Amino acid sequence: MSILEKFSLHSKVALVTGAGRGLGQAMAVGLAEAGADVVALDIIPCNETCAQIAALGQRAMHLQVNLKEATVDELNAHVKSILAEFGSLDILVNNAGIIRRAPALEYTETDWDDVIQINLRAVFFLSQAAGRVMAAGSGGKIINVASMLSFQGGILVPSYTAAKSAVAGITRALANEWANKNINVNAIAPGYMATDNTAPLRADETRSQAILERIPAQRWGEPEDLKGIVVFLASAASDYMNAAIVPVDGGWLAR
Protein backbone atom coordinates (compact mmCIF):
# COMPACT_ATOMS: atom_id res chain seq x y z
CA MET A 1 0.00 0.00 0.00
CA SER A 2 1.40 3.39 -0.98
CA ILE A 3 1.61 6.18 1.56
CA LEU A 4 -1.22 8.10 -0.13
CA GLU A 5 -3.41 5.00 0.01
CA LYS A 6 -2.80 4.79 3.73
CA PHE A 7 -4.47 8.17 4.16
CA SER A 8 -7.67 6.94 2.50
CA LEU A 9 -10.71 6.48 4.75
CA HIS A 10 -12.90 4.72 2.19
CA SER A 11 -15.31 2.22 3.79
CA LYS A 12 -14.72 3.78 7.24
CA VAL A 13 -17.46 5.16 9.47
CA ALA A 14 -16.72 8.14 11.70
CA LEU A 15 -18.64 9.72 14.57
CA VAL A 16 -17.83 13.39 15.17
CA THR A 17 -19.32 15.22 18.15
CA GLY A 18 -20.03 18.94 17.98
CA ALA A 19 -20.19 18.62 14.20
CA GLY A 20 -22.79 21.31 13.59
CA ARG A 21 -20.31 24.14 13.16
CA GLY A 22 -16.74 25.29 13.77
CA LEU A 23 -13.97 22.79 14.33
CA GLY A 24 -16.31 19.81 14.42
CA GLN A 25 -17.92 20.68 11.12
CA ALA A 26 -14.54 21.15 9.42
CA MET A 27 -13.21 17.84 10.76
CA ALA A 28 -16.38 15.97 9.78
CA VAL A 29 -16.14 17.32 6.23
CA GLY A 30 -12.41 16.59 6.12
CA LEU A 31 -13.02 12.95 7.05
CA ALA A 32 -15.66 12.73 4.33
CA GLU A 33 -13.24 14.26 1.82
CA ALA A 34 -10.90 11.37 2.66
CA GLY A 35 -13.68 8.87 1.97
CA ALA A 36 -15.42 8.25 5.30
CA ASP A 37 -19.14 8.11 5.98
CA VAL A 38 -19.86 10.43 8.88
CA VAL A 39 -22.30 10.59 11.78
CA ALA A 40 -22.61 14.20 12.96
CA LEU A 41 -23.61 14.44 16.62
CA ASP A 42 -24.65 17.81 18.02
CA ILE A 43 -27.40 19.49 20.01
CA ILE A 44 -27.89 21.90 17.10
CA PRO A 45 -29.06 20.92 13.60
CA CYS A 46 -26.33 19.53 11.36
CA ASN A 47 -28.11 20.11 8.04
CA GLU A 48 -25.25 22.12 6.56
CA THR A 49 -22.62 19.62 7.69
CA CYS A 50 -24.59 16.66 6.37
CA ALA A 51 -25.24 18.44 3.07
CA GLN A 52 -21.51 19.04 2.57
CA ILE A 53 -20.78 15.39 3.34
CA ALA A 54 -23.49 14.16 0.98
CA ALA A 55 -22.17 16.45 -1.77
CA LEU A 56 -18.90 14.54 -1.52
CA GLY A 57 -20.73 11.28 -2.22
CA GLN A 58 -20.50 10.01 1.36
CA ARG A 59 -23.29 8.92 3.67
CA ALA A 60 -24.21 11.29 6.48
CA MET A 61 -26.42 10.93 9.53
CA HIS A 62 -27.32 13.47 12.20
CA LEU A 63 -27.72 12.47 15.84
CA GLN A 64 -29.29 15.35 17.78
CA VAL A 65 -27.97 14.81 21.30
CA ASN A 66 -27.57 17.08 24.31
CA LEU A 67 -24.30 15.83 25.81
CA LYS A 68 -24.89 17.93 28.92
CA GLU A 69 -27.82 15.71 29.84
CA ALA A 70 -27.10 12.42 28.07
CA THR A 71 -26.77 9.38 30.34
CA VAL A 72 -24.22 6.64 29.85
CA ASP A 73 -26.99 4.29 28.73
CA GLU A 74 -28.12 6.85 26.15
CA LEU A 75 -24.58 7.24 24.81
CA ASN A 76 -24.30 3.48 24.43
CA ALA A 77 -27.66 3.43 22.66
CA HIS A 78 -26.49 6.07 20.20
CA VAL A 79 -23.43 3.99 19.34
CA LYS A 80 -25.70 0.98 18.80
CA SER A 81 -27.87 3.04 16.46
CA ILE A 82 -24.79 3.86 14.38
CA LEU A 83 -23.95 0.15 14.14
CA ALA A 84 -27.51 -0.61 13.08
CA GLU A 85 -27.39 2.06 10.34
CA PHE A 86 -23.82 1.73 9.07
CA GLY A 87 -22.65 -1.69 10.26
CA SER A 88 -19.46 -0.41 11.91
CA LEU A 89 -17.83 2.42 13.82
CA ASP A 90 -14.17 2.90 12.96
CA ILE A 91 -13.42 6.48 14.05
CA LEU A 92 -14.56 8.61 16.99
CA VAL A 93 -13.72 12.30 17.20
CA ASN A 94 -14.57 13.71 20.63
CA ASN A 95 -14.79 17.37 19.68
CA ALA A 96 -17.89 18.78 21.41
CA GLY A 97 -17.07 21.29 24.11
CA ILE A 98 -18.21 24.44 25.85
CA ILE A 99 -16.39 27.14 27.78
CA ARG A 100 -17.56 29.38 30.61
CA ARG A 101 -15.47 32.39 31.62
CA ALA A 102 -15.41 33.91 35.11
CA PRO A 103 -12.84 34.61 37.85
CA ALA A 104 -12.11 31.53 39.95
CA LEU A 105 -13.35 33.29 43.10
CA GLU A 106 -16.73 33.82 41.45
CA TYR A 107 -17.04 30.57 39.49
CA THR A 108 -20.41 28.85 39.93
CA GLU A 109 -21.14 25.19 40.53
CA THR A 110 -23.37 25.12 37.45
CA ASP A 111 -20.63 26.44 35.18
CA TRP A 112 -18.17 23.95 36.63
CA ASP A 113 -20.51 20.97 36.24
CA ASP A 114 -21.73 21.83 32.72
CA VAL A 115 -18.21 22.14 31.33
CA ILE A 116 -16.97 18.97 33.03
CA GLN A 117 -20.02 17.03 31.83
CA ILE A 118 -19.61 17.91 28.15
CA ASN A 119 -15.84 18.34 27.87
CA LEU A 120 -14.78 15.39 30.01
CA ARG A 121 -17.46 12.96 31.17
CA ALA A 122 -19.04 12.58 27.73
CA VAL A 123 -15.58 12.15 26.19
CA PHE A 124 -14.78 9.20 28.44
CA PHE A 125 -18.10 7.41 28.17
CA LEU A 126 -18.39 7.86 24.40
CA SER A 127 -14.84 6.54 24.12
CA GLN A 128 -15.82 3.59 26.29
CA ALA A 129 -18.86 2.82 24.12
CA ALA A 130 -16.88 3.14 20.89
CA GLY A 131 -13.93 1.27 22.37
CA ARG A 132 -16.09 -1.75 23.14
CA VAL A 133 -17.20 -1.89 19.52
CA MET A 134 -13.68 -1.41 18.19
CA ALA A 135 -12.18 -3.99 20.57
CA ALA A 136 -14.75 -6.55 19.47
CA GLY A 137 -13.89 -5.89 15.82
CA SER A 138 -10.67 -5.02 14.04
CA GLY A 139 -9.79 -1.93 16.09
CA GLY A 140 -10.24 1.73 15.33
CA LYS A 141 -9.19 5.31 15.95
CA ILE A 142 -10.25 7.60 18.79
CA ILE A 143 -9.27 11.24 18.46
CA ASN A 144 -9.89 13.59 21.36
CA VAL A 145 -9.82 17.35 21.05
CA ALA A 146 -7.57 18.74 23.76
CA SER A 147 -6.41 22.38 23.96
CA MET A 148 -3.53 24.71 24.66
CA LEU A 149 -4.96 24.54 28.18
CA SER A 150 -4.03 20.88 28.32
CA PHE A 151 -0.52 22.32 28.74
CA GLN A 152 -1.18 25.67 30.39
CA GLY A 153 -3.39 27.16 33.10
CA GLY A 154 -5.09 29.98 31.26
CA ILE A 155 -7.12 32.66 33.02
CA LEU A 156 -10.82 32.86 33.87
CA VAL A 157 -11.52 29.30 32.67
CA PRO A 158 -10.85 26.94 35.60
CA SER A 159 -13.33 24.22 34.59
CA TYR A 160 -12.25 24.29 30.95
CA THR A 161 -8.59 24.02 31.95
CA ALA A 162 -9.38 21.15 34.33
CA ALA A 163 -11.37 19.31 31.67
CA LYS A 164 -8.84 19.76 28.87
CA SER A 165 -5.95 18.76 31.13
CA ALA A 166 -7.93 15.62 31.98
CA VAL A 167 -8.64 14.94 28.30
CA ALA A 168 -4.89 14.71 27.74
CA GLY A 169 -4.65 12.32 30.68
CA ILE A 170 -7.54 10.14 29.48
CA THR A 171 -5.97 10.01 26.03
CA ARG A 172 -2.80 8.56 27.54
CA ALA A 173 -4.65 6.19 29.87
CA LEU A 174 -6.87 4.73 27.16
CA ALA A 175 -3.95 4.44 24.75
CA ASN A 176 -2.08 2.41 27.37
CA GLU A 177 -4.98 -0.01 27.73
CA TRP A 178 -6.18 -0.23 24.16
CA ALA A 179 -3.11 -0.03 21.92
CA ASN A 180 -2.81 -3.82 22.03
CA LYS A 181 -6.40 -4.06 20.79
CA ASN A 182 -5.48 -2.15 17.61
CA ILE A 183 -7.20 0.98 18.91
CA ASN A 184 -5.17 4.15 18.51
CA VAL A 185 -6.08 6.90 20.98
CA ASN A 186 -4.56 10.30 20.31
CA ALA A 187 -5.54 13.94 20.73
CA ILE A 188 -5.38 17.19 18.79
CA ALA A 189 -4.62 20.35 20.77
CA PRO A 190 -5.86 23.30 18.72
CA GLY A 191 -4.35 26.68 19.34
CA TYR A 192 -6.29 29.91 19.22
CA MET A 193 -8.91 29.20 16.55
CA ALA A 194 -11.50 31.52 15.03
CA THR A 195 -14.63 29.85 16.46
CA ASP A 196 -17.62 30.82 18.57
CA ASN A 197 -15.70 29.86 21.73
CA THR A 198 -13.06 32.51 21.05
CA ALA A 199 -15.41 35.23 19.81
CA PRO A 200 -15.12 37.22 23.08
CA LEU A 201 -11.32 37.12 22.85
CA ARG A 202 -11.28 38.23 19.23
CA ALA A 203 -13.73 41.02 20.01
CA ASP A 204 -11.37 42.37 22.69
CA GLU A 205 -8.81 44.26 20.62
CA THR A 206 -6.21 44.37 23.38
CA ARG A 207 -6.50 40.66 24.21
CA SER A 208 -6.63 39.64 20.55
CA GLN A 209 -3.50 41.65 19.75
CA ALA A 210 -1.64 40.12 22.70
CA ILE A 211 -2.54 36.65 21.48
CA LEU A 212 -1.51 37.36 17.88
CA GLU A 213 1.82 38.80 19.01
CA ARG A 214 2.68 35.46 20.63
CA ILE A 215 1.68 33.27 17.67
CA PRO A 216 4.64 32.87 15.29
CA ALA A 217 2.23 32.28 12.39
CA GLN A 218 0.72 35.71 13.22
CA ARG A 219 -2.87 34.67 12.64
CA TRP A 220 -5.79 32.95 14.33
CA GLY A 221 -6.25 29.35 13.28
CA GLU A 222 -9.17 28.39 11.04
CA PRO A 223 -11.29 25.25 11.40
CA GLU A 224 -9.91 23.99 8.07
CA ASP A 225 -6.45 23.91 9.67
CA LEU A 226 -7.52 20.74 11.52
CA LYS A 227 -8.57 18.74 8.47
CA GLY A 228 -5.11 17.36 7.74
CA ILE A 229 -4.29 16.22 11.25
CA VAL A 230 -7.69 14.61 11.87
CA VAL A 231 -7.46 12.63 8.61
CA PHE A 232 -3.91 11.55 9.49
CA LEU A 233 -4.88 10.38 12.99
CA ALA A 234 -7.96 8.61 11.62
CA SER A 235 -6.03 6.78 8.91
CA ALA A 236 -3.63 3.87 8.61
CA ALA A 237 -0.83 6.40 8.19
CA SER A 238 -0.84 6.88 11.99
CA ASP A 239 -1.06 3.22 13.00
CA TYR A 240 2.01 3.45 15.25
CA MET A 241 0.91 6.63 17.03
CA ASN A 242 -0.50 6.17 20.51
CA ALA A 243 -1.13 8.71 23.30
CA ALA A 244 0.15 11.69 21.30
CA ILE A 245 -1.20 15.15 22.09
CA VAL A 246 -0.57 17.00 18.82
CA PRO A 247 -0.57 20.82 18.93
CA VAL A 248 -1.95 22.65 15.91
CA ASP A 249 -1.28 26.13 17.20
CA GLY A 250 0.67 28.23 14.72
CA GLY A 251 3.68 27.84 17.03
CA TRP A 252 2.02 29.20 20.23
CA LEU A 253 3.62 26.65 22.56
CA ALA A 254 7.08 27.35 21.15
CA ARG A 255 6.90 30.90 22.49
Catalytic residues: 160
3-state secondary structure of 186: strand
Residue of 6, 2, 8, 49 lying closest to 26 (CA atoms): 49
> ∠39-241-190 over CA atoms, to 5°?
60
Cα separation, 183 vs 241, in Å, equals 10
Q: In what order do the strands lie in the sheet with 245-248?
A: 60-64, 37-42, 13-17, 91-94, 140-145, 183-190, 245-248
Cα separation, 115 vs 126, in Å, equals 16
